[in-house]
Structure 1
């Protein structure tokens, strides 16, 4: 194994570039396939969904991710990237097989659903026609890879050398292309000399650009991504817990976060008090780690993450309470403008979105809710079709009893409060992301409320 600090190793072998298969072309897989093609490899993406495969083959991304449309189209047109619904076609000529399928939360449990990862790994093993390395990128509970090695050993054809290793992904939605082409670290676990050399060839350009390589055992590689997500979730829930103290004491949590964020041991990122985290990764990953920690008897971690999850979910209730208070205790038949539906800006992802959850909760209390999101209105409509979706910030604000800023899109943060105040007879705003300037909005005539911020 290499030195995990420097990432130094012998130069990778020369020869033809390895051919790559990407199994699963959702958010992770489509991005990874396009990026691998952009790095100069011939890539085949496999998915069981014919409509998704057809769209990707035409260079069209079926979700919103800045920069991915252009990258995908470029690689498809260059002939380095194609997509198929035939797993044998994808696997047959490839040397490296990336497993990029989802690991959603199981219904009625905090545990991860590993059926897609298991099925994908088995399908690759069964259709191998040559020696190959199966590379797990999906986020899985620790111990999964060891079991998948048994699946590979059971289903790979006789005479084929099939090795399974783990290479977790660290994509941030909204910055996924940059994170794939220019990763801040590359973690590979459970590798032999042969598979390490092969993966170093795959990642040669990022490594040459300075990306550190950490080589470790399988369990460590599996734990890196979920531990990183758990730490970020804990940091967010910590500042939200501090916000409750600020509210009780009359302090301003945003100024407090600026001050403690100057400490280099802490840093300012992920210290924004507000509505909390959501999306397809952090919630289900911390719950899966909570569940797995309990199985392993690591109860302190399980208990910590239980509290992190409780604080995070409580923020949604706190914003609903602010809306009720702004409307004198009831939102029945009140008009509420909601700015934001995605769980974060620069994505159309509404999975476990705190913004959409709050909008739906107010709707269930009898409010007339108007939602605007620059990218996520259509995905939100498919999830909550009973809400009203409008086409601009102005439409969402017009004639409302209260406006809620629930996703910190730049156009909301930089909106002209005076112009918006003229659109409603009762200019009340709840900044649930801590991004608006209270003085500027109050000066424009708005009644301003925020989590962990003084009310006057």
Structure 2
């Protein structure tokens, strides 16, 4: 059981809600805060406003135990917590590539004047380098200086679909601090994590850094990951013209321990609420600091990612024997099933999802597109209301001339091509995630096309 310490999580979106529930599970008294009344009401009822495996159970268990509460009152937050974690969003600005820090500024300037005792404010949101020092200045301006309120930065590394495990059993903790008091306080706020690791005979590496390094760790990690994904997609482009198979290429180079197999899966590219905006904000901030040349390669990473979505449209035209004019393919009247709307499995997140972008592009080319996703349908409908949505895999593929597997859900990976072949009008499939068995589908009579793989 950790030392008695009260924690608040400011912002109860994906990041804050997950951390709040998990730290309550570790034994802390936790208060989650948000300005959104509907979101707070839903969380207080034990239901997450997004899909994350295992999170609803944690919410209900810890709400019932009295360790977890949610509020819309910052006054209550200020009087409750010893450590306040900033978990608000930092979206891309509508007028450029930079991160919008409005939510960070709003919550800090609103909380600081309400504090009545010494506290630690810890940033977890993904921010441009230099933000922590700026937050420190905001706190100095708005909080009572006699209290000695301090700031630290400890970035998050959550993977959607695995976030509960990532909080309870992190592969590292980064602590950007300016004082020994802040370091000790932040360590105490994670004591439950260390205690759990000790019971499981695990180590949790802790990297203590300055503010700038702590901020750079998250964006650098995301930039590296995006680069690795775009690299293998660039190899897919080469394989497509050279007659190679990118899946075998990835397997071969992945055996090199310096490279590894993870995230070497070619397909439609990356999406979601983090990687696309983070690499753009990183480029913008580097440009502001005079180091833009150092990250110029990230522009090409972004371009490669965008091209994979266009490649799916071209493959659809090839398979359907449709012309490709100056304005793109003409798919008028074609009935196409797109399986998947979320940017990855085990999530309902459709932000910048390649799957939904491909579905919209097919529809814009004149096709009648029918979309099915196991978890992302409500969000997909809100993002792309003009598309047709089906309530099952069977309904989506019935009477279509082309099936596009756009998200690698197990339901799609494990689908029986023989049974699906009896439902479709014509047996054509684009494996947008290279997650199917080409030989198995070909044996069932399908014309198969993967991403960076030879035609079957």
TM over 0.5: yes
2:26–2:193 CA contact under 8 A, matched in 1: no
Aligned residues: 443
Q: CA RMSD in A?
A: 1.2
Structure 1 match to 2:12: 25
Structure 2 match to 1:91: 78
Structure 1 match to 2:383: 383
| Matches for 1:153-172 after TM superposition, within 5 Å | 153-172=140-159
Deviations 1:366-408 (A, max 9, x none): 1110000000011100111111111111111111010000000
SS at match of 2:216: helix
Structure 1 match to 2:107: 120
Structure 2 match to 1:420: 420
Aligned partner (choices 97, 101, 118) of residue 131 of structure 1: 118
| Matches for 1:294-443 after TM superposition, within 5 Å | 294-329=287-322, 330-443=330-443
CA distance in 1, matches of 2:277, 2:2: 41
Structure 1 ranges of 4+ moved more than 3 A: none
**1:16 Cα deviation (Å)?**
5.4
CA distance in 2, matches of 1:299, 1:152: 30
Deviations 1:320-358 (A, max 9, x none): 111121121231111000100000000000001110011
TM-score by length of 2: 0.95
| CA distance 1:365–1:43, shift in 2 (3 Å) | same
| Matches for 1:177-256 after TM superposition, within 5 Å | 177-208=164-195, 209=197, 210-256=203-249
1:45–1:82 CA contact under 8 A, matched in 2: yes
* 1:54 correspondence with 2:47: no
CA distance in 2, matches of 1:353, 1:255: 26
TM-score by length of 1: 0.95
CA distance in 1, matches of 2:271, 2:224: 14
CA distance in 2, matches of 1:356, 1:425: 23
**1:93 Cα deviation (Å)?**
2.2
* 1:288 correspondence with 2:275: no
CA distance in 2, matches of 1:316, 1:207: 42
In structure 1, runs of 5+ residues without a counterpart are: 1-13
SS at match of 1:159: helix
CA distance in 2, matches of 1:88, 1:36: 21
| CA distance 1:16–1:449, shift in 2 (3 Å) | closer
**1:293 Cα deviation (Å)?**
1.0
**1:425 Cα deviation (Å)?**
2.6
CA distance in 2, matches of 1:326, 1:87: 57
In structure 2, runs of 5+ residues without a counterpart are: 198-202, 323-329
2:27–2:192 CA contact under 8 A, matched in 1: no
**1:158 Cα deviation (Å)?**
4.0
1:291–1:302 CA contact under 8 A, matched in 2: no
Deviations 1:158-210 (A, max 9, x none): 42111011000000000000000100000000242112111212212323411
CA distance in 1, matches of 2:409, 2:424: 21
CA distance in 1, matches of 2:49, 2:453: 39
